[in-house]
Amino acid sequence: MTPLRQRMLDAMVLRGFAARTVEAYIHAMVGLAKHYRCSPDLLSAQQVQDYMLHLHRDRKLSFSSVNQAASGFKFFYGTVLGRDLRGFDVPFARVPQQVPELLSRQEVAALLTHVPHVTAGTFLRLAYATGLRLNELCHLRWRDVHAEVDRMCIHVRQGKGGKGRLVPLTPDTLAVLQQWRALQPPRPAEPLVPDTPDWVFTARTDRALPLHDQSPQRWYRAAVTAAGITKHGGVHTLRHCYATHLLEAGVDVYSLQQWLGHQHVQTTARYLHLVRPDAAVGARGASLALLTALPLTEPAAMAEPA
């Protein structure tokens, strides 16, 4: 490891950056250095801008991905190297805000009854019922599921930006978790490795590791295809459905902002545009138990993958 890379890592650790942010920023800097085959502290602002243009125009990366790299560059040149960014411009692209393709309650129910196996069904049900991000759900631990009557919630310890939060845990969601835990092999009284995280979803090859985030995306696509749903999206679509369906049920925007882990309420308020016009009649006053509010559909056969 070069001293420059260590300086950047130390600066991010000191500021409490999330692990995924650290990984993304280091990846961006490595790509920049490899592109020019020299240390990034020797590059000019124009060279950095030319590289960002290369990422979008030649490598076909989205503006969101380029902006993530730009954040890493700004941190490196502005914070690590201490340069005046007014003379070292790292621009951000304006990303058009697209309205996500939501699933109706009927489509969510159809998706959940066409999952390929029990693990997929449990994961996707929890994604819809809690609104957790994909990475948050993959890294959920049993110790963070609080089932006490006076404190039923899920403690998200490492959300986006390294922020923690509490998410309501309804009885129907707790039942899904309890059924899933009953299917798990018994854990030893004393873990083989001290302080081993008790992941709710583990990697198939190593139970000491959390579930990789690519597996749920495959499960989602398989369920969508089997259910005959043609709308685009991935597991994150269920988070959009969670937010919109709760707003239709009468949940206020500020509570939903806390549960989703949004820094600004304006981000949450965008879901107001997706609320059905007849929601005040059809859904207002419904409980927070999204799973039991889904329409009944014929369940598909489920079996664990070989």
Does residue 262 carry a catalytic annotation? Answer: yes
Residues 6+ apart with CB under 8 A from 283: 245, 248, 249, 250, 276
Catalytic pick among 133, 165, 240, 245: 133
Among candidate residues 273, 271, 276, the one with its CA nearest the CA of residue 286: 276
Which one-letter DSSP state was computed for residue 144? G
Q: How far apart are CA 30 and CA 274, in angstroms?
A: 40
Q: How far apart are CA 34 and CA 39, in angstroms?
A: 9
Residue with tokens 């845990």: 169
Does residue 74 carry a catalytic annotation? Answer: no
Does residue 160 carry a catalytic annotation? Answer: yes
Catalytic pick among 239, 240, 242, 245: 239
Catalytic pick among 105, 117, 146, 160: 160
Catalytic pick among 25, 128, 242, 271: 271
At 279, which amino acid appears?
A
Residue 176 is encoded by which pair of tokens?
């899904």
Q: How far apart are CA 306 and CA 288, in angstroms?
A: 35
Does residue 36 carry a catalytic annotation? Answer: no
Catalytic pick among 7, 155, 207, 236: 236
Which one-letter DSSP state was computed for residue 194? T
Catalytic pick among 125, 165, 245, 262: 262
Give me the active site residues, please. Answer: 133, 160, 236, 239, 262, 271
